[in-house]
Structure 1
Amino acid sequence: MSGWTVDEMPAMDGETVVVTGANSGLGYEGSKAFADAGATVVMACRSEARGEEAATDIRRTVRGGHLEVRVCDLADLDSVAAFAAGLREEADGIDVLCNNAGVMAIPRGETADGFEMQLGVNHLGHFALTGHLLPELRASEGESRVVTQSSQAHTAGEMDFDDLQSEREYGKWSAYGRSKLANLLFAYELQRRLREADADVTSVACHPGYADTDLQFRGPREMGSSVRMGMMKVANKLFGQSAERGALPMLYAATSPEVTGGEYVGPGGFMRMRGSPEFQRSNAASNDEADAERLWAVSEELTGVEYDCE
C-alpha cells in the first residue's frame, strides 16, 4: 500500500456509507472522499446546522455522490437509537460504517446517560450505534465494513473495570487513552464474533497519526485556557499532517481489497504520526481477548444494546 492515496479508492456508486463526526476534521475529509467516489454518504452529526454547512461545502467540490445530514449525538443513547431507527426505515442496507467521531482530553463530564464523556462518546456511543445498525450492515449486498477510529494514545490506556467511568480518579489523558484502547478491544472482538458467525461483515480499526484537526482544541477550549490553545496550535503546525492526509487510514480501511478483517491501519511515516497508510500492530493490551470479552459484556449492560451476529 506504499504511497496509497484517495485516487486508488474504488468506485462506490450505489453504496451507502455512514460517517460519525462528519462535519469536521477526519469525518469531513472522509465524507468528501466517499462522495467523490460516488457513494451516498450519511453524515451523522451532533449539530444539524454544522452538518448542513459542511455538506454544502463538500457539494461544491465533489464530482458525484450524495450527502445526507442526520442528527446523531453519541453522548445520548436515545439520540443514537433514534438515528439508527430512522436510517433502518429508509436505507436499503449499509456498506460502510465509520465510527469516527470523538472527544479528546477534556475536563471530566458525563453523557446524558451518566457515562464518563470520553468513554461514553468514543466507545459506548459507537458500540450502541454499531449494534443498532448491524442488521443493515448484514443486509448490504456483498461484504460490508465497520471501521473504528482509534489512536496511538491507546498505548497509554488501561481497562480498570473497577473504575471504568473514572469516578474515583480522573485524568483527561488517561481517560482518553482508555477510550481509544476500548475502541480497539471492540473492533477486534467484533471481528472475532462476525467471523465465528460467518457473517459477511468485516471489522477493522485505524488511527490517523497526528492530524491537524479541531479535536485537539476542545479540551483547552472547555478549560478556558488560551495558553493551552496556543500550545496546541504550535504543536499542530509543527507535527500535524493535514486532516486530508489523516483520513487516509480510515479510507483505506473502508475500501481496500487488501483488508480481510481485524487489521489496524495507520500512517507509516515518522513515529507513525504521518505518512501513507499501512498495516500495523497495536499493543498487547488491545489484543487481550479476556478484556475484550469483559468490555463487550459491560458495554451491552451499560447501553442495553445486544448484538445478533448469527
Structure 2
Amino acid sequence: MSQWTTNDIPDLRGKVALVTGGNSGLGKETVQALAARGAHVILAARNPERGEKAREEVLQSVPDASIKFMQLDLASQAAIREFAASFLETHQRLDLLFNNAGVMAIPRHETKDGFEMQFGTNHLGHFALTGLLLPLLLATPKSRVVTTSSMARAMGRVNLDDLQSQKGYTRWSAYGQSKRANLLFAFELQRRLAATSTETISVAAHPGYAHTNLQSTSATLSNSNLELWFYEKFGAFVGQPAAMGALPQLYAGLSSDIHGGELVGPGGFSSMRGHPRVETKAQREYDRPTAERLWDASIELTGVDYAQLQQNQPSSI
C-alpha cells in the first residue's frame, strides 16, 4: 500500500464515475486516472468553458477516454437538484462518486440559498448531491462515495449554533469547519449504510499539501501577498503535485483494502505528502453526537432527507 500509484488502478471498463470539481487540480487528475483505466467519467464543474477545456485536455492525454461534461453549481441547491434529476434520467448506474470540489479560505460570501459559501459548497452541496443520487448508488453493486476532507479540518469545529458563521467569521475557521463537516459526513454516512444490506460504502480522503489553484485563489481573493509568498516558498518545500495529491481519493475509491469508514491520506511527512495510506487513528475524530446533529441540520437546510436510506435502517439507529 505504501507505494500505491495509478498503475495499481484496476480495469474500470463498464464503471461509471462522477467527479465534482473535475476541471482542475485534484479533480482533473482523478478524472484522467479513471478515464485512462476505461471508466466512463462525468466531469462536473460550475464553469462550462473551463469544464469543456479540461475535458479536451484529458482527451489529448487519453484519446479513447469516455468523458462527459455536466454543469454543476454546488453553491445552488436548485442547480444541484437539476443536475441530479438529469443524471438519474441519463445514467443507469453510478459506481464512484467523488465529492471533490471545494472552495478554500475565501472572504465571507453566501451561496444562492444564503449559506456561508464554504460550508454551503463544501459540505451542504455534497450532502445534497449524495442524497439525491443515493437511489442510483444503492442500486449499483459495490458503489463508493469518496468525500474529500483536508488537514485544515484540525483548525475547525462544527459550530452547530452558528453553522453559517453569522456571529463571527474568519475564513480559515470557516474552511476548517467545512472540512471537518466533510469528514463527519463521510463517517456518519458509512455508519448508516452499514446498518442496511447495501454494498455501498462511504470513505473519506485528504490530499495532504497538494499544489492546486486553491492556494493562489484563496490568497488572491483575500488580498494576501504574504500568504501567496508563503504558499510559493513553503509549498515547494513540503508539498506535492496535484497528481500525487489525488492518489488518496483514488485509493479510497478503488483499493480492495478499503471496506468503508476509513480516512485515506498521504503516508509521508506529517501526512502532507507521499503515497496513500489509511490513517488508522482517524476514527477518533468521529464525534457521533455532533455528526448526528450535523446530519439532521443538513437535512433541514437542504431539504434532502436520505429517505431511501432511512427506510432500510432500524429505528434504533
TM-score normalized with structure 1 length? 0.97
Identity of aligned residues (%): 50
- Provide the rounded CA distance (Å) in 2 between the counterparts of 1:64 and 1:168: 51
- Residue in 1 that maps onto 2:133: 133
1:207–1:163 CA distance, 2 compared to 1 (3 A): same
In 2, distance between residues paired with 1:266 and 1:227?
28
Moved more, 202-211 or 155-164: 155-164
In structure 2, the partner of 1:92 is: 92
Contact 1:213–1:243 (Cα < 8 Å) also in 2: yes
Counting only pairs closer than 5 Å after superposition, residues 150-161 of structure 1 correspond to structure 2 as 150-161=149-160
Offset, 1:230: 3.1
1:243 corresponds to which letter in structure 2? Answer: A
Query: C-alpha offsets along residues 144-184 of structure 1, whole Å, 9 cap, x if unaligned?
Result: 00000001111111111111111011111111111111001
Distance in 2 (CA, whole Å) between partners of 1:226 and 1:13 is 46
Name the structure 1 match of 2:277: 278
Equivalent in the alignment of 1:217? 216
Aligned to 1:254: 253
Shift of 1:3: 0.4
How far is 1:215 from its partner? 0.8
Contact 1:96–1:144 (CA<8 Å) still a contact in 2?
yes
> Are the counterparts in 2 of residues 13 and 65 from structure 1 also a CA contact under 8 Å?
no
**Residues 233-291 of structure 1 deviation map (CA, whole Å, 9 limit, x = unaligned):** 22322221000000000100010111100000000001100001001045577311011
- Aligned match of 1:171: 170
- Partners of 2:262 and 2:283 within 8 A in 1: no
Deviations along 1:81-114, one digit per CA (max 9) or x if unpaired, are 1111110000011000000001111111110000
1:63 deviates by: 5.6
User: Aligned partner of 2:83: which letter?
Assistant: F
**What is the SS of the residue equivalent to 1:98?**
strand
Report if aligned partners of 1:43, 1:69 keep a CA contact under 8 Å in 2: yes
The aligned residue for residue 315 of structure 2 is none
Q: Name the aligned partner's letter for residue 161 of structure 1.
A: L
Alpha-carbon shift at residue 227 of structure 1 (Å): 4.2
> Which residue pairs with 2:22 in the alignment?
22
The 1:281/1:153 distance shift into structure 2, 3 A limit, reads: farther
Is the CA contact 1:36–1:63 (under 8 Å) kept in the aligned structure 2?
no
Query: How far apart, CA to CA, are the structure 1 residues paired with 2:195 and 2:282?
Result: 24
Which deviates the most, 246-255 or 57-66? Answer: 57-66
**One-letter amino acid of the counterpart of residue 257, structure 1:** S
Query: Structure 1 residues 283 and 2, CA, compared in 2 at 3 Å: closer, same or farther?
Result: closer
Q: What corresponds to 1:33 in structure 2?
A: 33
Distance in 2 (CA, whole Å) between partners of 1:207 and 1:229 is 22
Deviation at 1:224, TM superposition (A): 3.3
Moved more, 54-63 or 181-190: 54-63
Secondary structure class of the residue paired with 1:67: strand
Q: Which amino acid aligns with 1:158?
A: R
Give, in whole Å, the separation in 2 of the partners of 1:27 and 1:266.
16
Partner of residue 235, structure 2: 236
Tell me how far apart the structure 1 counterparts of residues 281 and 211 of structure 2 sit (CA, whole Å): 22
Q: Is the 8 A contact 1:42 1:68 kept in 2?
A: yes
What is the distance in 1 between the residues matched to 2:36 and 2:238?
28
Structure 2 portions without partners, runs of 5+: 313-317
Question: What letter corresponds to residue 183 of structure 2 in structure 1?
Answer: L
Contact 2:19-2:99 at 8 Å conserved across structures: yes
| Structure 2 residue identity aligned to 1:117 | M
Q: Which moved more, 1:29-38 or 1:227-236?
A: 227-236
* AA of the residue aligned to 2:119: L
Alignment check: 8 A CA contact 1:93 1:138 kept:
no
Alpha-carbon contact 2:263-2:282 (below 8 Å) kept: no
Q: Distance in 2 between matches of 1:134 and 1:217?
A: 34
Displacement of 1:41: 0.4
SS in 2 for 1:80: helix
1:305 matched residue in structure 2 = 304
Q: Deviations over 1:194-220 (max 9, x none)?
A: 110121211000000000000112222
1:78 partner letter: A
8 Å CA contact 1:13, 1:39 repeated in 2:
yes
SS of equivalent residue, structure 1 residue 60: helix
